[in-house]
């Protein structure tokens, strides 16, 4: 059997340099943790030195020996004689960064082997879910380096200024917009690594709104849009896409595909001209967030750049060990946020409202606490919009949470229920009208490659 990757000489050089020059411990700690050392005695000594440094005590042969003795680990660390040998092992601490890098490389190799071995073991189970194994395997491999800091974790204000300048010069091309100028002028788009929730009860067309948003996005960019339809089947999703994108009645769509020669080709050609062939539908039920992330990575490799991810519906996702809706939301709301950060894409999620919010259909205004199951939705969302009905039965869209500016603004929804097409949003009152006035022009040109007929701005 091949021995595990290890570099004992470099480990001894690192520990010796730290004992020789305690300041070198800070340099080593930029790349290493105690767990990166292959030999236990080196892990124990490294931890002892770091503890002494953290408590502002001197670091020398006597204090390190004393700390190890107090921990009951002196003999496991090789004893005082081995500490003395390490001090004599290197003449200087000048090369501490180089030796730390070699130790880290060996540690990463061992952790990679361990992760790969766990994946291989799981895959040997003939009853295992391979998608789940691949998904968890990717996360396991990504976590190999999660405990390491290869550079200074802090950034100066000058470095941040450079980073921010690059951000503001590129964010307009990266933000995901709804395609409705009134809403976009308020939230200014959902950026990469950000999550927006759309809340609503039954009969408020929240799924149709998300479909309208994604169909429109396909026509404004050349990116791809994975849409996870946990509630609706792929057949129904296709029919709705034609209904919304073409303005056809569902019975005409069914009849056209069944009886009329050339109808299928005409529909696909028309949808393709609007970019809707870049909408990627997945109707697998009961997906975990890890699986959604895995499938998105597959889509990125196969198709290209991802514009945003759509999830319909949060309450239909699953989470290992979650018992009941509360635990599910508590687990998956932060998991979705972390997924957005890892994938560096915007994520738009549909969620039901709590049962007491059913009163909204009698005219009660929706609040940010409407998310069903847990308060985790408003905690981890960057943006929240909610659909409800006023006393006149009009569908109202409220901006419930907006980290880019004003919240609490309300808009009347203009839609065609026959085709599930959202036509636009009109300010509900003078407050919303005043805030949105003159702000729509700043998002014009965000998608310069968009054909004029697909530009809502």
Whether residue 360 is predicted with pLDDT greater than 60 in this model: the reply is no
**How close are the terminal C-alpha atoms of the chain, in Å?**
65
Paired residues of 444 in beta bridges: none
**What value does the mean pLDDT take over residues 316-340?**
93
User: What pLDDT is attached to residue 171?
Assistant: 77
Question: Would strands 395-402 and 410-416 be described as parallel, antiparallel, or unpaired?
Answer: antiparallel
Encoding tokens for residue 158?
A: 């000058």
The average confidence (pLDDT) of the chain is 88
Confidence of residue 456 (pLDDT cuts 50, 70, 90): low
**What value does the mean pLDDT take over residues 397-408?**
93
pLDDT 10s digits, 117-137: 888 998 898 888 887 788 777
Whether residue 361 is predicted with pLDDT greater than 50 in this model: the reply is no
Paired residues of 399 in beta bridges: 385
What percentage of the chain exceeds 90 in pLDDT? Answer: 64
User: What pLDDT is attached to residue 439?
Assistant: 60
User: What pLDDT is attached to residue 357?
Assistant: 46
Encoding tokens for residue 197?
A: 């929730």
Contact 352, 315 (CB under 8 A): yes
Structural domains present in the chain: 8-145 (1.10.860.10), 174-445 (3.40.50.300)
pLDDT 10s digits, 95-106: 999 999 999 999
Confidence of residue 310 (pLDDT cuts 50, 70, 90): very high
User: What pLDDT is attached to residue 170?
Assistant: 78
Confidence of residue 91 (pLDDT cuts 50, 70, 90): confident
Confidence of residue 444 (pLDDT cuts 50, 70, 90): very low
Burial 22-41 (b: 16+ CB within 10 A, else e): bebbebbbbbbbbebbbeeb
User: What pLDDT is attached to residue 313?
Assistant: 95
pLDDT 10s digits, 40-58: 999 999 999 999 988 889 9
| Of 160-174, 178-192, 309-323, minimum mean pLDDT range | 160-174
User: What pLDDT is attached to residue 143?
Assistant: 72
pLDDT 10s digits, 179-193: 999 999 999 899 999
How far apart, in whole angstroms, are the C-alpha atoms of residue 63 and residue 292? 52
How far apart, in whole angstroms, are the C-alpha atoms of residue 8 and residue 14? 10
Encoding tokens for residue 228?
A: 């996870």
Whether residue 35 is predicted with pLDDT greater than 70 in this model: the reply is yes
Q: What's the whole-model pTM score?
A: 0.70
How far apart, in whole angstroms, are the C-alpha atoms of residue 267 and residue 245? 9
Per the rule left: phi > 0, alpha: psi between -120 and 50, beta: everything else, 150 is alpha
CA 239 to chain centre: 29
């Amino acid at each position: 059997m091949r021995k595990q990757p290890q570099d004992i000489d470099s480990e001894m050089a690192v520990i010796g340099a730290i004992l020789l020059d305690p300041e070198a411990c800070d340099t080593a700690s930029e790349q290493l943790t105690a767990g990166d050392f292959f030999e236990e005695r080196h892990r124990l000594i490294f931890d002892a030195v770091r503890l002494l440094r953290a408590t502002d005590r001197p670091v020398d042969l006597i204090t390190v020996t004393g700390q190890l003795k107090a921990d009951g680990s002196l003999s496991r660390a090789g004893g005082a004689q081995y500490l003395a040998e390490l001090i004599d092992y290197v003449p200087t601490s000048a090369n501490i960064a180089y030796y730390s890098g070699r130790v880290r490389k060996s540690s990463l190799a061992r952790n990679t082997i361990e992760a790969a071995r766990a994946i291989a073991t799981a895959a040997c189970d003939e009853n295992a879910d391979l998608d789940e194994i691949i998904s968890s395997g990717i996360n396991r491999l990504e976590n190999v380096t999660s405990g390491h800091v290869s550079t200074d974790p802090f950034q100066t204000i000058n470095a941040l200024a450079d980073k921010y300048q690059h951000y503001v010069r590129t964010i307009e091309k990266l933000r995901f917009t709804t395609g409705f100028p009134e809403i976009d002028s308020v939230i200014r788009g959902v950026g990469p690594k950000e999550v927006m929730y759309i809340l609503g009860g039954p009969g408020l067309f929240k799924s149709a709104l998300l479909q309208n948003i994604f169909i429109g996005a396909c026509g404004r960019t050349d990116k791809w849009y994975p849409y996870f339809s946990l509630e609706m089947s792929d057949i129904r999703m296709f029919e709705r896409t034609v209904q919304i994108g073409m303005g056809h009645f569902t019975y005409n769509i069914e009849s056209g595909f069944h009886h009329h020669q050339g109808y299928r080709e005409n529909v696909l050609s028309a949808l393709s001209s609007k970019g809707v062939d870049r909408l990627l539908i997945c109707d697998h039920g009961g997906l975990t967030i890890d699986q959604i992330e895995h499938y998105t990575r597959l889509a990125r490799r196969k198709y290209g750049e991802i514009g945003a991810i759509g999830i319909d519906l949060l309450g239909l996702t699953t989470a290992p060990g979650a018992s009941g809706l509360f635990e599910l939301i508590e687990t998956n709301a932060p998991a979705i946020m972390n997924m957005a950060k890892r994938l560096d894409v915007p994520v738009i999620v549909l969620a039901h409202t709590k049962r007491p919010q059913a009163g909204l259909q009698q005219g009660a205004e929706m609040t940010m606490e409407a998310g069903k199951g847990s308060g985790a939705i408003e905690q981890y969302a960057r943006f929240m919009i909610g659909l409800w009905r006023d006393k006149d039965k009009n569908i109202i869209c409220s901006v419930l949470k907006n980290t880019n500016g004003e919240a609490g603004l309300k808009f009347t929804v203009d839609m065609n229920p026959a085709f599930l097409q959202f036509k636009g949003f009109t300010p509900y009152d003078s407050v919303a009208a005043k805030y949105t006035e003159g702000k729509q022009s700043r998002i014009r040109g965000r998608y310069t490659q968009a054909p004029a007929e697909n530009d809502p701005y």
